[in-house]
Amino acid sequence: MTYQTTITRKGQITIPKEIRKILKLKEGKKLELEIEKEKRKVRIKPTRDFLEFAKKIKVKKKVDPVKVREYMEKFYVRI
């Protein structure tokens, strides 16, 4: 499928409703933009949030995913 949108004066675009629905995008959701300069293409995909994964992890001892995220942000550097 191909969709068309317009760039505003501020450099913003509107993502069509059908695409937002397919990608399960909601207000405030972060996106990744990947650029292929040679082909002049941009790929848009939702970023993965650590808390989405934390809910799926089965552990013997119950862990608060918010505390784990705070710990990771404090001690690990994002690349």
% of the chain exceeding 90 in pLDDT: 25
pLDDT at 79 over 70: no
**Residue range 20-36, pLDDT digits in tens:** 998 888 898 888 899 99
**Do 51 and 65 form a contact (C-beta atoms < 8 A)?**
yes
Alpha helices for the chain (secondary structure H) = 17-23, 50-54, 65-75
Residues of the chain within CATH 2.10.260.10 domain(s) are 1-47
**Do 20 and 5 form a contact (C-beta atoms < 8 A)?**
no
Tokens 């848009």 belong to 44
- The SS3 of residue 66 is helix
d(CA 12, CA 8): 5
Give the domain 1-47 fold: Pemi-like Protein 1; Chain: D (2.10.260)
